[in-house]
Structure 1
Amino acid sequence: MLNPHPTRYAELNGVLHDLVTGAQEALGGSFVGAYLQGSFALGAGDQHSDCDFLVVVRERPDEEQEAALRRLHAELPHRGGFWHGHLEGSYAVAGDLATVAGLGREWLYVDHGSDVMSWSEHCNQPWTRWILREHGITLVGPCPVQLMEPVPDDVLRDSARAGLATLVDDVLGWCPPTVAWCQRYLVVQASRSLYTIRTGEVASKRDALRWVMVHGDPGWRPLLQQVLADRDLGLDPQAPPRPGSLEAARAYAAYVARVA
């Protein structure tokens, strides 16, 4: 039975119903289950979050199933309302998901708000798997712990540490430095990486910022407080960063890379 209240937003719950029933129709007997990971699974989802989902399939979608899924996601963002435009997720092959040996394999993926699908490893990462197994919200299907082994601490930590080496270039390569949201995103990602390296777990954006305020160098607290407070501003492509804040974000990312 489909979980009727997976989030606190009634409209989003209706969108997830549309997603799951559409995926079941497209996949037939290959459908295993559907889950929320990301911010909502960590208890931090709000109207500034995308809604990260994962649908588990028995095998890689065949040509007919893939075409049906592409039609579904081409149409979903255009149904109107707020949440139809804020889905992001993948169709995970059960065999890939079962063990960490399957990390990095490409799954059929739809980016935040997009109506075009691609094959991507975006959702097949140690941190997404950890969130799914330890905190995932089941929409329908077996509990995630029945589908996958735990993510070893060293795999999670090593992945976070490796990402810090190129974090600034990676983020500012796709997120313009002239946009305030991108400055905040850089600080958040550095904070989440540090949290994972120190704890072997994954935190929400807000919880990671608060954790570093307590456990990190106190000199960074004004920057972290600015990012935390400005989160409620959301994404405005026309809003520039506060004066000096991007430079501070770069310096903070370098600090995190050093102490990690």
Structure 2
Amino acid sequence: MAQNPTPYAELNELLQELTSKAGAILGDAFVGAYLQGSFALGDADLQSDCDFLIPVSRPITADQERALRELHDEIPTRPGFWTQHLEGSYPQAHQLRALDGLGHNWLYIDHGWRQMQWSTHCNSEVVRWTLREYGVTLAGPDPKSLVEVVPAAALRARMRRDVPTLLDDLATWVSIELAWGQRYAVTTLCRMLYTLDSARVCSKKAALLWAMDALDPRWFELCHQAMDGRALGFDPEDAATPDAVAATIAFADYATDISIKLE
């Protein structure tokens, strides 16, 4: 187990327990445990999920799945902060290695949930790139030995597909008429545009700072507002202003135009 993989002692203890218990459940199918997402890219804070991957060398058995479901059902019932903020998947290692593994469902626990799902949520170009280039090893081999290089063209192609549908995709689980959802939409669009530009992945904070410097100045205030509001977290009673919603929709159109021009 890596020493102090995050700045938060409570989270480090939880990750140590998760790694140990998952390893015991999976036995010799356990390949390793890793952080990706914000805690790998940097700039993680108390508004971040803790994104993990625990690859397995062969399909998870029914008994193993049952035990993992029990573990992830129990963790959020505990007191503490980070027990509510784990999110991650248990990919088959051969499906994780290359992009021909896209589309496979992996056993997944969503942020704040107790019930695991079979989902493609973590099975993406972005997750592979982040794990390979910046993944934090909790246990197991160097992630570069598990994941092939993700081509720049593949990252850019994914962004060109995802940018035009982002607001519709978000609408399936959060409204941009909520202040949190509106800020999340702006931040995600900035991250996508950064990846289109650089063929790299960056943190939310880094993407907003980049956007305020690199994009048309008319979007500066919108991005600045998203950064300033991040510390507010999620509040279901906090509505976005009509002007912020309209600006976010216009920003999504702007991002879509850029994605089309770069095809």
TM-score normalized by the length of structure 2: 0.97
Q: 1:117 matched to which residue of 2? A: 116
Q: 1:199 matched to which residue of 2? A: 198
Letter in 2 for 1:206: K
Give deviations 1:156-177, integer Å, cap 9, x for gaps: 1100110012111111221023
| Structure 1 Cα separation of the partners of residues 198 and 122 of structure 2 | 21
CA contact (8 A) 1:172 1:182 kept: no
| Structure 2 Cα separation of the partners of residues 58 and 173 of structure 1 | 33
Instruction: State the shift of 1:205 in Å.
Output: 0.7
Q: Aligned with 1:229: secondary structure?
A: helix
| Structure 2 Cα separation of the partners of residues 104 and 247 of structure 1 | 34
Q: Aligned with 1:57: secondary structure?
A: coil
Q: 2:55 matched to which residue of 1? A: 56
Q: 1:256 matched to which residue of 2? A: 255
**Pairing of 1:89-168 with structure 2 (within 5 A):** 89-168=88-167
Letter in 1 for 2:35: L
| Structure 1 Cα separation of the partners of residues 203 and 161 of structure 2 | 20
Letter in 2 for 1:202: V
CA contact (8 A) 2:190 2:207 kept: yes
Q: Aligned with 1:175: secondary structure?
A: coil
Give deviations 1:84-129, integer Å, cap 9, x for gaps: 1100000010110111111221100000021100100000100011
| Structure 2 Cα separation of the partners of residues 220 and 197 of structure 1 | 17
Q: Aligned with 1:222: secondary structure?
A: helix
Kindly tell me the number of residue pairs found equivalent between the two proteins: 259
Letter in 2 for 1:17: Q
CA RMSD between the two structures: 0.9
Instruction: State the shift of 1:243 in Å.
Output: 3.9
Instruction: State the shift of 1:182 in Å.
Output: 0.3
169-178 or 243-252: which moved more?
A: 169-178
Percent identical pairs in the alignment equals 48
Gaps of 5+ in 1: none
CA contact (8 A) 1:109 1:120 kept: yes
Give deviations 1:133-188, integer Å, cap 9, x for gaps: 00000001101001110111111110011001211111122102331000001101
Give deviations 1:187-208, integer Å, cap 9, x for gaps: 0111111100110000111111
Letter in 2 for 1:92: P
| Structure 2 Cα separation of the partners of residues 83 and 105 of structure 1 | 28
Q: After TM superposition, where is structure 1 displaced by more than 4 Å over at least 4 residues in a row?
A: none
Letter in 2 for 1:230: G
